[in-house]
């Protein structure tokens, strides 16, 4: 494929040896830019060098696929932040995981042969002729052609479009591993063919590769999609709706527990909880600006046939604004706090969907407070205290604060009210200082309608993501013409504060699943107790009686009456990560006691029924905090 195109630049054998020698001596590597220019850059600790290494590994994998499979069609060969991959398609059976070792061996031979990347700028027609009937390569060539020509990197008989820096020499690629095979729609669109995607990872030294493989194994063990399947929490079936999770009974229990907790916390913090429709007239989203700014992330409007256009809501803010506008508001009503577990819909491409983290339907723990300007600082502090208190109950401790301001050198792209910006930013900073919290300031990171605080958390694998946000908004009250009657009897414009405590239920539960590795603390666990009678005939009735007492105290409990060996039942309770396993036999039945085994522990303790009830209720009431 693309084998006989003329090259505009080549490298001599002597130049090749020179670069290798200098590379070893100076810990540098030769990297080619998309224009064919070559330079030496530092290898170790250099993200640019690692990115170029991954691009070379992707090209080598593409060459290996061409060598191993005649007539294979090849899509993109991509270097990502932490891996590389190549998409492929065959008329017969697709590439399988069993063939990865053969592909890795072919890559090794490419390195051993001393192949190097050549740069070629060729006529598009010639490149298309070389590609033949490979529709995917043809599309890529056409997309990247300029003035009838296309720039390519070529490694032996394989070629890719030159669009990112790449290593020059294949023999630098020594420490790599092909990881997995998965399906992927061409260009991430479900209307396109499903291709076979082969993933790999590569580093400059073996220690880094070993550390990466270890981290990947940990990630696999913590993957909420894997755990969700093992514990039967949820599923997503593309045949009935990609990105639309189905919550199974256990997953629903976890979600319902979190939702009840959040609502109770917010109501106790003076929020008015509401329900609002998931549909709204498109005009509202035009007024809010969502249609203009986020149209690509919204589902197509529904034409009701009478001129009315309804839209699945991508945000809850316009809905809560309608609640505010439904009555005439006085300064005595402020701050007015409105909250909802609001269902939203956003269009995500099929290729971007991932378990519960990237979905098309989500329920946001959303809230909006309407305040007078002089109330911003106090309300901001109140919201922040609520968020930190919730974090404590979920045992979330690794987080940082980022205050985002407008860019003082480029104020034209922000809502035009200098005095309000300065006052609002000062209030947010003052609230953080009053609370004695460390934070960092990020100029230019504010939304165009107001400054904000982002709370950045660390995932189970150390990645940073935004968990909670407090966002000031001067624009929407203006666009929707919101007012309140002040003490002076005149109309005044409120400021709107958007806030999310734990984000969407979907992403939050994915985060917790990975943090807890599926071993949810007792208060969240879908099943808190498993009771195992030694003999169901002799001790089953006692187990049922005990379960009834626990259920009366709102403990989630099941009795394992199956005709299986007791050891098997105990192991399964551990596999399902049930916090407490109770074994009851002759002694327990005679004494009114239970034999208690906690998840992850081998030792058992004997407690009276009341002692165990006191223990588990205390565990639940303390949100399973050990202290």
**Long-range contacts, stretch 342-347, CB < 8 angstroms, 24+ apart:** 342/276, 342/313, 342/316, 342/366, 343/278, 344/278, 344/312, 344/313, 344/314, 344/315, 344/316, 345/278, 345/299, 345/312, 345/313, 345/314, 346/297, 346/298, 346/299, 346/314, 347/296, 347/297, 347/298, 347/299
Rounded to whole angstroms, how far apart are CA atoms 88 and 85?
Answer: 10
By CB atoms closer than 10 A (0-12, 13-18, 19+), residue 126 is middle
- 273 annotated ligand-binding residue: no
Q: Please report the pLDDT score of residue 14 as a whole number.
A: 35
Six-digit token string for 10: 């080549």
**Whether residue 2 has pLDDT greater than 50:** no
Other CB atoms within 10 A of residue 70 CB: 7
With H, G, I as helix, E, B as strand and everything else as coil, classify residue 180: strand
**Whether residue 22 has pLDDT greater than 60:** no
- 326 annotated ligand-binding residue: no
pLDDT digits (tens, 9 = 90+) for 305-339: 888 999 999 999 999 999 999 999 999 999 999 99
Can you tell me the mean pLDDT for 353-358? 88
Q: Please report the pLDDT score of residue 114 as a whole number.
A: 86
- 539 annotated ligand-binding residue: no
pLDDT digits (tens, 9 = 90+) for 224-234: 999 999 999 99
- All structural domains of the chain with their residue ranges: 28-209, 231-514, 522-622
pTM of the model: 0.80
Other CB atoms within 10 A of residue 138 CB: 15
Average pLDDT of the residues of the chain: 89
pLDDT digits (tens, 9 = 90+) for 465-479: 889 999 988 889 999
Six-digit token string for 453: 């605080």
pLDDT digits (tens, 9 = 90+) for 376-417: 989 999 999 999 999 999 999 889 999 988 888 887 777 777
pLDDT digits (tens, 9 = 90+) for 248-263: 999 999 999 999 999 9
| Residue 560 backbone phi and psi in degrees, to 5 | -90, 95
- What CATH number has the domain spanning 522-622? 3.40.50.800
CATH class, range 28-209: alpha beta
**Whether residue 6 has pLDDT greater than 60:** no
**Whether residue 21 has pLDDT greater than 70:** no
pLDDT digits (tens, 9 = 90+) for 178-212: 999 988 888 877 778 888 999 999 999 999 999 99
pLDDT digits (tens, 9 = 90+) for 50-75: 999 999 999 999 999 988 888 888 88
CATH class, range 231-514: alpha beta
Rounded to whole angstroms, how far apart are CA atoms 132 and 159?
Answer: 14
Rounded to whole angstroms, how far apart are CA atoms 436 and 452?
Answer: 18
Other CB atoms within 10 A of residue 518 CB: 22
């Amino acid at each position: 494929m693309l084998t006989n195109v003329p090259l505009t630049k080549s490298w001599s054998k002597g130049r090749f040896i020179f670069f290798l020698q200098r590379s070893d001596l100076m810990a540098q590597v030769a990297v080619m830019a998309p224009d064919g220019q070559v330079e030496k850059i530092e290898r170790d600790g250099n993200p640019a060098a690692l990115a170029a290494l991954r691009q070379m590994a992707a090209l080598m994998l593409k060459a290996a696929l061409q060598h191993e499979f005649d007539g294979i069609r090849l899509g993109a060969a991509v270097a990502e932040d932490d891996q590389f991959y190549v998409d492929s398609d065959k008329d017969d059976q697709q590439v399988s995981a069993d063939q990865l070792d053969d592909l890795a061996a072919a890559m090794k031979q490419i390195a051993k042969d001393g192949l190097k990347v050549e740069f070629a700028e060729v006529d598009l027609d010639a490149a298309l002729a070389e590609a033949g009937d490979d529709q995917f390569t043809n599309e890529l060539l056409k997309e990247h052609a300029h003035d009838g020509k296309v720039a390519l990197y070529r490694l032996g008989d394989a070629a890719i479009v030159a669009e990112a820096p790449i290593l020059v020499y294949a023999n630098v690629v020594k420490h790599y591993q092909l990881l997995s095979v998965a399906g992927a729609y061409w260009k991430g669109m479900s209307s396109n063919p499903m291709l076979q995607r082969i993933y790999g990872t590569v580093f400059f030294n073996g220690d880094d590769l070993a550390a990466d493989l270890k981290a990947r194994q940990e990630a696999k063990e913590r993957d909420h999609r894997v755990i969700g399947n093992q514990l039967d929490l949820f599923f997503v079936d593309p045949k009935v709706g990609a990105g639309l999770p189905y919550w199974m009974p256990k997953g629903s229990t976890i979600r319902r527990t979190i939702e009840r907790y959040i609502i109770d916390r917010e109501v106790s913090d003076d929020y008015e909880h509401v329900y609002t429709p998931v549909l709204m007239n498109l005009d509202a989203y035009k007024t809010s600006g969502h249609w203009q700014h986020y149209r690509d992330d919204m589902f197509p409007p529904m034409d009701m046939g009478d001129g009315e256009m309804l839209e699945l809501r991508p945000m809850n803010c316009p809905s809560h604004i309608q609640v505010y506008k439904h009555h005439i508001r006085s300064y005595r009503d402020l701050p007015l706090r409105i909250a909802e577990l609001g269902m939203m819909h956003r269009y995500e491409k099929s290729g971007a969907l991932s378990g519960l983290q990237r979905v098309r339907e989500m329920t946001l723990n959303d809230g909006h407070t309407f305040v007078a300007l002089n109330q911003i600082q106090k309300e901001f502090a109140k919201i922040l205290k609520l968020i930190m208190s919730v974090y404590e109950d979920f045992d979330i401790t690794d987080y940082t604060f980022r205050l985002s301001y407008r860019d003082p050198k480029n104020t034209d792209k922000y809502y035009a009210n200098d005095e309000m910006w300065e006052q609002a930013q000062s209030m947010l900073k003052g609230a953080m200082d009053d609370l004695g919290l460390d934070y960092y300031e990020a100029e230019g990171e504010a939304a165009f309608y107001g400054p904000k605080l982002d709370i950045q958390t660390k995932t189970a694998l150390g990645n940073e993501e935004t968990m909670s946000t407090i966002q000031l908004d001067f624009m929407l009250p203006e666009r929707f013409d919101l007012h309140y009657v002040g003490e002076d009897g005149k109309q005044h414009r409120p400021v709107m504060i958007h806030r999310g405590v734990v984000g969407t239920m979907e992403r939050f539960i994915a985060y917790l699943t990975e943090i807890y590795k599926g071993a949810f603390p007792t208060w969240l666990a879908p099943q808190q107790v498993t009771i195992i009678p030694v003999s169901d005939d002799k001790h089953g009735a006692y187990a049922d009686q005990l379960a009834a007492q626990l259920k009366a105290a709102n403990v989630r409990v099941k009795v394992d009456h199956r005709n299986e060996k007791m050891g098997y039942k105990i192991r399964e309770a551990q596999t399902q990560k049930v916090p407490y396993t109770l074994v009851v036999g002759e002694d327990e039945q005679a004494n009114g006691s239970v034999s208690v085994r906690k998840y992850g522990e081998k030792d058992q303790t004997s407690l009276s029924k009341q002692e165990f009830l006191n223990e588990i209720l205390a565990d639940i009431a303390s949100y399973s905090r050990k202290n």
